[in-house]
Amino acid sequence: MSRPVIVFGTRNPGKLREVAAGLGEVARVQGLDDFPPVPEPVESGASFAENARAKALAYAKLLAPHLEKDALVLAEDAGLEIYALDGYPGVRSSRIADDDEVRRRLVLAKLHAGGYSDEDSRRARFVSAMALVTGGEVLAQVEGEVEGVIAPQPRGTGGFGYDPLFFYPPYGKTFGECSLAEKRAVSHRAMALTVIMDFIRKNLTEE
Ligand code: IMP
């Protein structure tokens, strides 16, 4: 079976870890570190989908001189949405502060300020939007999500970003307390990736 080359456009090691193993089943995966440095595309869209698409197209253009023929570029925009806070931090999930710990504190402070202390009012979801591009063309655009509850304080050291705050009721623990395999069985990123992998198997691999 011939497998396409896919460059996953991220500098986030947590995302790379969660995507590389699965995607490796259907494609030869490369990361940005396999290429000369390129600037990070600006994320100015109003939705995760818009940002994922813009990121994939921008990386495809920036990397074009170095890409193998027919190589594809995959990009993701992801984030946390808290229902009681009208979707905050949403598309700005990575930008409300400079580091993960401060971002987590900000989220907890907002919930505290709003008096959102019971489980029901702290419901949230993670969203992952992915776009698969070749040349200037978007071949597939998908989304995955997972529902959870914002914990009163961070728990666990696994994963990245908001994972220690994201309590997943079916597991009875936060994503920060989960193994990579546990998170990959249910996460927003894994759901989006499953659809991308199906698309690749059906359309881009040759027996
Ligand atoms: P992006 O790199 O612009 O897609 O921003 C993603 C940001 O959303 C990250 O910096 C995290 O703060 C948050 N985020 C997205 N997915 C996850 C996840 O799986 N776990 C924890 N935080 C996440």
Question: Do residues 74 and 56 touch, judged by C-beta distance below 8 A?
Answer: yes
Q: What is the mean pLDDT of the chain?
A: 95
In the DSSP assignment, the letter for residue 183 is H
Measured between alpha carbons, how far is 180 from 56 in angstroms, rounded to an integer? 25
Residue located nearest, by CA, to atom 8 of ligand 1: 79
pLDDT of residue 2: 81
Query: 105-134: per-residue pLDDT in tens?
Result: 999 999 999 999 999 999 999 999 999 999
Nearest atom within ligand 1 for CA of residue 77: 4
Tell how far the Cα of 206 is from the centroid of ligand 1, in angstroms.
Answer: 34
- Predicted TM-score of the model (pTM): 0.96
Tell me which residues are annotated as active site: 77
Q: List the domain range (segments joined by +) for residue 165.
A: 5-203
Q: How confident is the model at residue 207 (pLDDT cuts 50, 70, 90)?
A: low
Domain count, the chain: 1
Which amino acid is present at 205? T
Give the C-alpha separation, 34 to 203, whole Å: 25
Tens-place pLDDT, residues 9-37 = 998 888 999 998 899 999 999 999 999 99
CATH number of the domain where residue 147 is located: 3.90.950.10
Q: 149 near 122, Cβ under 8 Å?
A: yes
Ligand 1 centre from 16 Cα, in Å?
A: 12
For 100, other C-beta atoms within 10 Å of its C-beta total 17
